[in-house]
């Protein structure tokens, strides 16, 4: 074993040598202060606890108006809710919520994973309030997605908006939120997947037929419930019940949401004829499409596309 030796200044300086002088002054760092303020996240012992602490810090330290953390479930290809914020900035339980990431959302996750854009803003989005049994749209405004990543892989995202206030997107606050999400990703990557439960939601593994159906519908949302059940070799009635139990939404509504997303994507891609786009998205008739669109989006297709700057024929 190597022997240690003393290197104190008085020990290594010869007799009569002047003693070193310490300089007085300030050396502060806003980043270090911010990291210290984010300290409560390091006391989290499981993903759900971490998510709640992240929301609390996003409100209290970062100063965001409203924020919510969603974790990505790669088996179902869904963002599943954890904790969010109501209109009074109270932290509320949002485990009942989930959604499918659209193509622009995937692009935002990819940009964050590579470091090109740690947060991405969107305009004219619904401002929502999640309750235990329903979700209400209370207005429209901006929202920001700040992905939570680790080793170049998205684990989830922090979403924030201005609620019903007149607050604008604050780049400084969003940059601090990105630091918060970076720390969250590093901590999440170190948390084990215990007892065979999913990392993000803490629920048991979903029915394999549901997982397969989600993937099949992502490729072709025009497939009917009976077609899916036949392909998966399960009874239509039982399959519909299991799907709603696992996904929190009926198979019919889920298919319609996917078809509307595809319709909007087709129109944004340059097509101007709504009938052709509706059929390409999987709807059997324009009347059916119009009825579904108004039911799920709360407005007509023409008015919705007009707000996005698209001029349909």
pLDDT tens for each residue of the chain, 313 residues long: 789 998 999 889 888 899 899 999 888 899 999 999 999 999 988 888 999 999 999 999 999 999 999 999 877 778 889 999 999 999 999 988 888 888 888 899 999 988 899 999 999 999 999 887 778 899 999 999 999 998 888 999 999 999 999 999 999 999 999 999 999 999 998 886 433 334 454 444 567 888 888 888 888 888 888 888 888 888 888 888 888 877 767 888 888 888 888 888 888 777 778 999 999 888 988 899 999 988 888 888 888 888 777 777 6
Nearest-angstrom CA–CA distance, 304 and 292: 13
Instruction: State if pTM tops 0.95.
Output: no
Nearest to 125 by CA among 171, 163, 94, 180: 163
Position 151 scores a pLDDT of 84
Q: Under CATH, domain 32-196 is a member of which superfamily?
A: GAF domain (3.30.450.40)
Grouping H, G, I as helix, E, B as strand and the rest as coil, residue 154 is strand
- Alpha-carbon gap, residue 258 to 292, rounded angstroms: 11
Residue 224, CB-side half-sphere exposure with 13 Å CA sphere: 6
At 296, list the tokens. 């799920």
Alpha helices (runs of H) in the chain, residue ranges in sequence order? 9-12, 30-37, 47-57, 103-114, 171-189, 208-219, 225-232, 236-247, 251-268, 274-280, 286-297, 301-307
The CATH code of domain 208-307 reads 1.10.10.60
Residue 197: C-alpha distances to residues 59, 60, 192, 202 (Å):
29, 31, 10, 6
Query: In Å, how far are 208, 214, 216 from 75, measured between CA atoms?
Result: 10, 9, 13
Q: What share of the chain is helix, strand, coil (3-state, %, to 5)?
A: 45, 20, 35
**Residue-range domain boundaries for the chain:** 32-196, 208-307
CA distances from 253 to 46, 78, 113, 248 (A): 33, 15, 31, 10
Query: Measured between alpha carbons, how far is 312 from 292 in angstroms, rounded to an integer?
Result: 18
Instruction: Tell me what pLDDT residue 202 has.
Output: 42
Dihedral, 167, 168, 174, 180 alpha carbons, nearest 10: 20
What is the predicted pLDDT for the residue at 196? 34
């Amino acid at each position: 074993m190597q022997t240690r030796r003393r290197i104190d200044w008085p020990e290594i300086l010869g007799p009569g040598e002047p003693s070193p002088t310490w300089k007085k002054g300030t050396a502060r760092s806003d980043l270090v202060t911010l990291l210290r303020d984010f300290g409560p996240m390091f006391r989290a012992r499981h993903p759900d606890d971490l998510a709640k602490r992240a929301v609390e810090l996003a409100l209290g330290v970062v100063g965001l108006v409203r924020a919510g953390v969603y974790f990505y479930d790669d088996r179902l290809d869904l963002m599943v809710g954890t904790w969010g914020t109501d209109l009074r900035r109270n932290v509320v339980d949002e485990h009942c919520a989930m959604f499918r990431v659209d193509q622009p959302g995937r692009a935002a996750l990819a940009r964050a994973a590579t470091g090109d854009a740690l947060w991405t803003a969107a305009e004219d989005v619904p401002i929502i309030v999640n309750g235990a049994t329903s979700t209400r749209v209370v207005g429209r405004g901006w929202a920001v997605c700040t992905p939570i990543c680790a080793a170049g892989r998205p684990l989830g995202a922090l979403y924030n908006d201005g609620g019903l206030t007149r607050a604008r997107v604050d780049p400084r606050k969003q940059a601090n939120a990105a630091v918060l999400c970076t720390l969250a990703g590093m901590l999440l990557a170190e948390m084990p997947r215990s007892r065979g439960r999913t990392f993000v939601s803490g629920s048991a593994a979903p029915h394999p037929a549901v997982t397969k159906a989600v993937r099949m519908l992502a490729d072709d949302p025009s497939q009917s419930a009976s077609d899916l059940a036949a392909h998966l070799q399960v009874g239509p009635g039982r399959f519909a019940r299991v799907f709603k139990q696992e996904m929190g939404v009926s198979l019919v509504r889920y298919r319609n949401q996917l078809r509307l997303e595809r319709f909007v994507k087709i129109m944004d891609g340059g097509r101007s004829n709504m009938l052709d786009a509706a059929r390409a998205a999987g709807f059997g008739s324009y009347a059916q499409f119009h009825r579904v669109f108004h039911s799920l989006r709360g407005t007509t297709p023409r008015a919705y596309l007009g707000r996005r700057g698209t001029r349909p024929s």
